[in-house]
Amino acid sequence: MKNYLIDIVGTCNLRCPSCPVGNYQHNQLIMNRKKGFMSFDLFQKIIHKIQADCSQVNENFSISLYNWGEPLIHPNIVEIVEFLHNQNIAFSFSTNLNIKDLYKPENEQKLLRILQTFPTMIRISVSGFEQEIYQRGHKGGDIELVKKNMEAIANLINNNATLKDFHKRTHLHVFYLIYTDNCDDNIAKMYDFCKQLNFDFIPGIAYLMPLEKMIYGVDENKLNEEDKQTLQRLYISPKEAFMMLKDYSAANNCPLFDDIVINHDGSVALCCSVYDPALQVVADNYLNYSLKELQKCKRQKSALCKICTKNNMQLMALQVPEDIWKLNVLNKQKIINTKYLTDIKRYQRQTIKNPIRLNPNYKK
């Protein structure tokens, strides 16, 4: 299965400190990074080329409508997902769901049309139930707006006959990014809220991105003060991850290398984890290159890949082996006395039976 990540939006409406859209905003080298929306015409041409490319090599493919951007702020998001649905193309998207007025009755038809395309996955990223905690991880966001939009989605699924099979066809879930200070009543309340709405709930480890900062983070003195503050909230810092994985052999392999990442302007990125355009862009226009040529372009600009795989950075980005990450998070939760212990997943698309449980040794 060939994976295509298409960043239809070249920016985001939030400034999360663990994401480069937030933690690179004062970097002069990045200030000129292109922003904007992929035109619907360009999107259609890209999809038709993907279909032709994969047909030639007899390979199936899937589309993710995001990388660093927020897909639901795209002015043509309805047309984009309906186009994919009409083409019988499997696609997914992740959203912070901080979409103003989406829950209001006048926007019900827009939301319904999106849901009626039955994405393979809809992931809603959150980091708290109360605003005080949520805004630390989702800077600029409003958790009450997110909750209203979640309720609007649940109401449509429950009350519209065209969506009766929605949960069988779409893995709709909240991805709760865990930090050292939000596995208290915040995580329990969000879990209960999700159960009420019939949304799946998946805890996942927050970590510092992009790859460039992950590399800098191994030597924490290379990070700025804001990034260091973010590190204080992480269960596993880049330095800790490096030590945790240093004896694990990955044979310099990276499963992300075969993915095709397309920016909103049609350019092709080296990797989904890289943000700096000087390091990221390997081809100016996806439409002008074959799959074989794109992989050649990536290999020619893969100096960063060598640094990454030599130091097992790809394992940090993918958070594998999963059992090692789970064990280290659990140990940290016990040490710092969090109220709830978590079962974590990175790319899980199925229900977790017991995502959280009360810490039996918790002391106030």
The band of 347, judged by pLDDT with boundaries at 50, 70 and 90, is low
Mean pLDDT along residues 85-101: 97
pLDDT for residue 284: 95
Asked whether the predicted pLDDT for residue 60 surpasses 90, the reply is yes
Q: CA-to-CA distance for 220 and 238, rounded, in angstroms?
A: 9
Asked whether the predicted pLDDT for residue 249 surpasses 80, the reply is no
Asked whether the predicted pLDDT for residue 144 surpasses 80, the reply is yes
Q: Which of 2-16, 57-71, 104-118, 294-308 is the least confident region?
A: 294-308
The amino acid at residue 83 is: F
pLDDT for residue 34: 83
The band of 184, judged by pLDDT with boundaries at 50, 70 and 90, is very high
pLDDT for residue 339: 98
Under 8 Å between Cβ of 326 and 345: no
pLDDT for residue 312: 86
**pLDDT, tens digit, for every residue of 1-35?**
999 999 999 999 999 999 999 998 776 656 667 89
198, two tokens: 């019939």
Q: CA-to-CA distance for 355 and 97, rounded, in angstroms?
A: 22
Give percent above pLDDT 70 in the chain.
96
The band of 275, judged by pLDDT with boundaries at 50, 70 and 90, is very high
pLDDT for residue 206: 96
For 26, 267, 326, the CA distances from 38, given in Å and listed in that order, are 24, 11, 37
The band of 255, judged by pLDDT with boundaries at 50, 70 and 90, is confident
pTM of the entire structure?
A: 0.96
Under 8 Å between Cβ of 215 and 208: no
Highest mean pLDDT among 21-25, 240-244, 300-304: 240-244
pLDDT for residue 31: 64
Under 8 Å between Cβ of 43 and 83: yes
Q: CA-to-CA distance for 126 and 229, rounded, in angstroms?
A: 19
More confident: 347 or 153: 153
CA angle 16, 286, 56 (to 5 degrees): 125
The amino acid at residue 248 is: Y
Asked whether the predicted pLDDT for residue 269 surpasses 60, the reply is yes
Q: Which of 154-158, 213-217, 233-237, 286-290 is the least confident region?
A: 213-217
pLDDT for residue 332: 96
pLDDT for residue 150: 98
pLDDT for residue 143: 98
Instruction: Give the closest residue to 74 by CA, choosing from 121, 8, 118, 140.
Output: 8
Whole-angstrom distance between the N-terminal and C-terminal Cα of the chain?
48
For 44, 130, 171, 202, the CA distances from 187, given in Å and listed in that order, are 40, 10, 20, 10
Task: Please give the mean pLDDT across all residues of the chain.
Answer: 93
